């Protein structure tokens, strides 16, 4: 019924080479399209990485500026606190001098009592337990 020799034999060699050429051309096109897509994807990833680096650098710069501002504020507050403490110490010193001038005997008795308590505390700390 069927002639197997005839069906397996290529009737026209030009038709076969054309088919092979189409397959090769299709493969070349697929490879080129894949290469283009990979290049586009790599460029997109590269762009995203660049933006991340820039935003990271921007965030780091912002954080450093904020840290610098906080340091300056802390130093200013420390200077202000030091100034306030110094003024209060001078005022208390002046008060103590005024008290000593107006009540010298009481001031001496208070100083002697404070000295005795301090000597007793220091004496106790030197003894072995």
Average pLDDT, the chain: 81
Lookup: tokens for 82: 């030091």
* CA torsion, ordered 3, 8, 12, 18, to nearest 10 deg: 150
Q: Whose structure tokens read 């106790």?
A: 124
Q: H or E segment at 121?
A: helix 104-126
Average pLDDT for 58-86: 89
Indicate the pTM of the whole model: 0.42
Please give the pLDDT value at position 10.
Answer: 47
Handedness of CA 74, 80, 86, 92 (dihedral sign): negative
Average pLDDT for 45-52: 80
Domain residue extents for the chain: 4-102
pLDDT in tens, 86-110: 999 999 999 989 988 999 999 999 9
Q: Is the pLDDT of residue 49 over 50?
A: yes
Average pLDDT for 48-58: 77
pLDDT in tens, 2-37: 454 444 454 555 665 676 777 777 787 888 888 888
């Amino acid at each position: 019924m069927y002639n197997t020799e005839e069906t397996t034999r290529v009737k026209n060699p030009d038709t076969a080479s054309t088919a092979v050429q189409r397959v090769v051309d299709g493969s070349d096109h697929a490879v080129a399209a894949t290469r283009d897509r990979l290049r586009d994807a790599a460029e997109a990833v590269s762009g995203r990485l660049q933006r991340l680096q820039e935003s990271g650098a921007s965030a780091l710069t912002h954080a450093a500026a904020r840290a610098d501002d906080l340091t300056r504020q802390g130093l200013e507050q420390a200077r202000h606190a030091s100034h306030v403490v110094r003024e209060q110490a001078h005022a208390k010193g002046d008060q103590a001098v005024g008290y000593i001038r107006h009540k010298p005997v009481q001031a001496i008795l208070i100083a002697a009592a404070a000295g005795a308590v301090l000597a007793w505390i220091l004496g106790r700390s030197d003894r072995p337990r």
